[in-house]
Amino acid sequence: MSEEAGIRIVVQEAPFDFGAEADAFAAGRNDMGAVVTFTGVVRDVSGGLDGMEIEHYPGMTEKALARIAAEAQARWSLGEVLVIHRHGKLAPGERIMMVATASPHRKDAFEAAEYLMDYLKSRAPFWKKESAGGGQSWVAAKDEDEAALRRW
């Protein structure tokens, strides 16, 4: 976990309590009129997914997430930024990660949350491996994820 001004980054194997995190986020900040949260969930597209394992690069992961959050803070008017990302084994329907942004303005909170998501998809060192029908395969990065960065 890292604590910079208004930035909280958590990388952990254990599940997180979305309700408690959302409740505590920017609590007591009366100057923040807008809070946006996004949650990523393990998705079973084909109906045959047994689970997923997320590998990461300890050390670099926390640094990369902190940098992405700091960049968001520099670009938008944000009072608080939270990024939680899990690693290890996850079952379909489990929460993988969440981001939260708090801003005086709705537009800043939404845009910053999208920016965080776009960047942490392809610039934070996580790799997903899916298990289905007894086989395992690494999830390939999508061209559209890379393309998504160009709008920022």
Partner 1 sequence: MIDVLYFAWVRERIGMPKERLDTGAATVAALVDELRAREERYAMAFSDLSALRVAVDQELTDFDAPLAGAREVAFFPPMTGG
Which stretches of the chain bind partner 1, using CB under 8 A?
40, 55, 57, 59-60, 63-64, 85, 96-97, 117, 120-129, 138-141, 146
C-alpha distances in angstroms, 49 versus 39, 56, 80, 115, 140? Answer: 19, 21, 35, 28, 16
Question: In this structure, what are the phi and psi dihedrals at residue 87, rounded to the nearest 5 degrees?
Answer: -135, 175
- Decide whether 27 or 146 has the Cβ nearer to partner 1: 146
What angle is formed at CA 119 by the lines to CA 117 and CA 124, rounded to 5 degrees? Answer: 105
Q: Are 72 and 103 in contact (CB under 8 A)?
A: no
Which residue type, as a one-letter code, is found at position 110? F
For the chain, the first-to-last Cα distance in angstroms comes to: 27
- Decide whether 25 or 119 has the Cβ nearer to partner 1: 119
Write down the least CB distance from residue 65 to partner 1, Å.
9
- Decide whether 38 or 105 has the Cβ nearer to partner 1: 38
- Decide whether 51 or 104 has the Cβ nearer to partner 1: 51
Write down the least CB distance from residue 29 to partner 1, Å.
26
Task: Read off the DSSP letter of residue 6.
Answer: T
- Decide whether 95 or 105 has the Cβ nearer to partner 1: 95
49 exposure class (CB count in 10 Å sphere: 0-12, 13-18, 19+): middle
Write down the least CB distance from residue 123 to partner 1, Å.
7
Write down the least CB distance from residue 63 to partner 1, Å.
6
Write down the least CB distance from residue 120 to partner 1, Å.
5
